[in-house]
Structure 1
C-alpha cells in the first residue's frame, strides 16, 4: 500500500525492517529511491528531530561512489525519514549467511571499497559508528571487481549518532552492535574515526573466518573480550594481511591505520590473494559460546540485559548479537540498542581465555564440548579395547591350560584322582 512521505516522495513497498525503522522502495521527483522511515517514537522525540535537522547539511554533503548517498531528510508530522539512493542488490550480511565465508580476494576487495567510503566520511568530519555487514550494500548491477566481488557501498551514516542522544543514552549507556564495538567505546570514551577502523577490521575478519574475533555468548562476555583479549591468528592467510588486521584491531585507537591508508594497503594485497580459496577453519561450537557466557556471567548471573533468545538469533552461525528483544531477521537488520558500560573491575576479570580461536577444520578446541565428547569417545574406545584384550588373554590362558591337560599321561591322571576304597 503506497503512502506519501512529505510532499515529494511516495513509499510503495517495504524492502526491510530494523530496530531503527523501516526501509521502503519509493519514488521521488528524480526517480526510484530508498526511504528509511524511522520509528514513530523517534519521530516524536523533539530533541532527536532537532539533531536530525542539524545533521542535514553534513549528511547531504557526503558524496562518494562508495557511500549510499542521502538525498533528502523529511520531517513531516509523525514522519522522520532519510531519502537515499536506491542500490539494486543485497547487503553483505545476506551474502555472508549464504556463503558462510568469502574467498580472501573478494573479502579484501569489498573491505577496501568500504574503507574508501569511510575515508571520505572521516575527511568530512563524520564518524559512522555502526560499521557492520548489515550496513554494507553490494551493487549487483555494478562491474565485477577482484575475486568476482560486486562494488560495496556503506550506508546508514549518522543513524547511530542521531539515535544516540544524551537523554536516550546517559554516560552509563553505549549504542552499537557488540561484536563490532571498539574497546574505547566500551570504556566510555567518545567515538572517533578509529572506532570505524576497528569495526571494519572486525568485518574483514568475519568475511575471512565466518565469525567475528570476539563474538559468541552473552553480550557482556563479548564486550569484555574486546577490552581484554588479543585476536587469535587466522591460519592460511598471508602474513602481510594478518599484520594489517592486527594493527587495525589494536586496543589503542592511535595504533590503528587511517581509512585511506587501510584501503590503499588492502589493494596492495589483492595480487597475492588471487585464486586463493576460502579459508578452511572451523567455527567455534555454540556450546563453547555458552561456556564463555556462563564464565563471564558468574554465579550472580549476567551483568547486562538479556539478548533475544537463541532461536530469535537464527541459531548456529551469526555475525552480531541482536539485542533488540523480539526483533526478527530481515534484509535491513539494525541492532542499535543501549547497553550499560561495564565497570573497570568487570572488564578486568572473567574474560581471559574466552576469545574464540580458529583452528584447522575438524580439530576441536581443548575444553570445548566437541573436545570433551571426543575424549569420552576415546575413553569408551580404550575401555572396550581393554575388555576385548582381557577376554583374548583369558581365552588364551584357557586354551593353554586345556592343551596341558590333553597332553597329560594316564599315570598323571590316575595320580591326581582320589584314592578308591
Structure 2
C-alpha cells in the first residue's frame, strides 16, 4: 500500500526491514528513491527529532562514490524519514548467506570500497558506529571489480548516533550490534573513528571465514570476548593480509589503521589474492558454557546446526540470519569482563582434540556424568552394606554384654 512521505515523496513498496525502521521503494520529484522510515517510537521522541535535524547538514553533505547519498530529511507528523539514492542490488548479508564465505579477492575488494567510504566520512567528522554486512549495499548495475565484486556502498550513516541519545540510553548502556562492537565501546568509552575500523575488520574476517571472530552465544559473552580474547588465526591467507586484520582488531584503538591507510593496504593485496578460492575453514561451534546457557538442543536431521555465526543475539528471538540485532545492553563491569566462562583466549586445538560444545565433547561429558552417577550408586551401596554389617555386629554383641553383667 502506497503512503505519502511529506509533500514530495511517495513510498510504494517495502524493500526491507531493519532494527531502526523500514526501507521503502519510493518516488520523488527526480525519480525513484529509497525511503528509510524510522520506527514510530523514534519519530515521537522530540529530542531525537531535534538531534536528527541538527545532523541534517552532516548527513546531506556526505557525498562519495561508496556512500549511499542522503537526498532529504522528512519530518512530518509521526513520520521521520531519510530519503536516499536507490541502489539497484542487494546487501552484503544476503550475499554472505547465499555463498557462506567469499573468495579473498572479492572480500578484500568489497572491504576496500567500504574503507574508502569511511575515510570520507571520518574526514567530515562523521563516525558510522554500526558497520556490518546489513549496512553494505552491492550495486548490481555497477562495473565488476577484482574477483567479480560489485561496487560496495555504505549506508545508514548517523542512525546509530541518533538512536543513542542521552534520553534513550544512560551512561551504563551501549547501542550496537554485539558481533561488531569495539572493546572501547563495551568498556563505556565514547566511540571514535577507530570503532568503525574494528567493525570493518570484523566484517572482513566474517567474509573470509563465514563467521565473526568473537560472535555466538549470549550477548554478554560476545561483549566479554571483544575485551578479553585474541582473534583465532585463519589458515590459508597471506601473512600480510592476516597482519592487517590483526592490527585493525587490536584492543587499543590507537593501534588500528586509519580508514584511508586500510583501503590502500587492502588494494595492495589484491594481486596476490587473484584466483584464490574461498577458505576451507571449520566453523566453530558454541563453547560448552555458551551451549549450556543457551540450552542448545541436540542436532536434528534436516535442521540447521546452531553455530557461533548464526545464533540469535536478542533474547527470545528466533535464529535470525540477517543479524537484525541493533539493541541496547548494559555495560559489563570490570569483574564480569575479566572472568566467566568466556574470559580466556581460545587457542587452536591440536588435531583430534575435543572441541568444547562439539558432539564428541558432549558425548564425553555425558559419559563422565554416567560414570559419576554409577560411582555414586556403588558408593551408596557400599556405605549401606557397611552400615548393615555394623548394625548386625552390634546386635550380636549386645546379648553377650548383658549376660556378662548379669552373671553372679
Shorter-chain TM-score range: 0.7 to 0.9
Q: Which residue of 1 aligns with 2:87?
A: 87
Question: Which moves more between the two structures, 318-327 or 138-147?
Answer: 318-327
How far apart, CA to CA, are the structure 2 residues paired with 1:348 and 1:328?
A: 28
Q: Which residue of 2 aligns with 1:384?
A: none
Q: Which residue of 1 aligns with 2:314?
A: 323
How far apart, CA to CA, are the structure 1 residues paired with 2:249 and 2:309?
A: 20
Offset of 1:350 from its aligned partner?
A: 1.6
Counterpart secondary structure, 1:74: strand
Offset of 1:318 from its aligned partner?
A: 3.7
Offset of 1:167 from its aligned partner?
A: 1.1
Offset of 1:121 from its aligned partner?
A: 0.3
How far apart, CA to CA, are the structure 1 residues paired with 2:210 and 2:319?
A: 21
Q: Which residue of 2 aligns with 1:177?
A: 177
Q: Which residue of 1 aligns with 2:62?
A: 62
How far apart, CA to CA, are the structure 2 residues paired with 1:190 and 1:353?
A: 23
- Where in structure 2 are there 5+ consecutive unaligned residues? 296-303, 369-408
Q: Which residue of 2 aligns with 1:259?
A: 259
Offset of 1:337 from its aligned partner?
A: 1.2
Offset of 1:355 from its aligned partner?
A: 5.6
- Is the Cα contact below 8 Å between 1:20 and 1:334 reproduced in 2? no
Counterpart secondary structure, 2:166: coil
How far apart, CA to CA, are the structure 2 residues paired with 1:5 and 1:357?
A: 53
Question: Which moves more between the two structures, 252-261 or 334-343?
Answer: 334-343
Q: Normalising to structure 2: TM-score of the pair?
A: 0.82
Offset of 1:293 from its aligned partner?
A: 5.7
Q: Which residue of 1 aligns with 2:400?
A: none
- Where in structure 1 are there 5+ consecutive unaligned residues? 307-312, 380-421
* Cα deviation 1:188-210 (Å, max 9, x = unaligned): 00000000000000000000000
1:369 correspondence with 2:358:
yes
* Cα deviation 1:159-212 (Å, max 9, x = unaligned): 000110101110000000000000000000000000000000000000000000
Q: Which residue of 2 aligns with 1:39?
A: 39
Q: Normalising to structure 1: TM-score of the pair?
A: 0.80
Offset of 1:372 from its aligned partner?
A: 2.5
1:234 correspondence with 2:234:
yes
Equivalent of 2:336 in 346, 370, 379: 346
1:270 correspondence with 2:273:
no
Offset of 1:369 from its aligned partner?
A: 1.9
How far apart, CA to CA, are the structure 1 residues paired with 2:318 and 2:7?
A: 31
Counterpart secondary structure, 1:72: strand
- Is the Cα contact below 8 Å between 1:21 and 1:36 reproduced in 2? yes
How far apart, CA to CA, are the structure 2 residues paired with 1:229 and 1:186?
A: 13
Q: Which residue of 2 aligns with 1:405?
A: none
The equivalences for 1:165-244 within 5 A come to 165-244=165-244
Q: Which residue of 1 aligns with 2:380?
A: none
How far apart, CA to CA, are the structure 2 residues paired with 1:62 and 1:133?
A: 20
Q: 1:358 to 1:158 in 2, by over 3 A?
A: farther
CA RMSD, aligned part only? 2.8
Q: 1:172 to 1:222 in 2, by over 3 A?
A: same
Counterpart secondary structure, 2:115: helix
Q: 1:238 to 1:187 in 2, by over 3 A?
A: same
Q: Which residue of 2 aligns with 1:390?
A: none
Counterpart secondary structure, 2:16: strand
Q: 1:327 to 1:79 in 2, by over 3 A?
A: farther
Q: Which residue of 2 aligns with 1:22?
A: 22
Q: 1:315 to 1:233 in 2, by over 3 A?
A: closer
Q: Which residue of 1 aligns with 2:131?
A: 131
Q: 1:79 to 1:370 in 2, by over 3 A?
A: same
- Is the Cα contact below 8 Å between 2:291 and 2:357 reproduced in 1? no
How far apart, CA to CA, are the structure 1 residues paired with 2:312 and 2:346?
A: 15
Q: Which residue of 2 aligns with 1:402?
A: none
| Larger RCO: 1 or 2 (CA < 8 Å, sep 6+) | 1
Aligned pairs, number: 360
Offset of 1:371 from its aligned partner?
A: 3.7
Q: Which residue of 2 aligns with 1:291?
A: 289
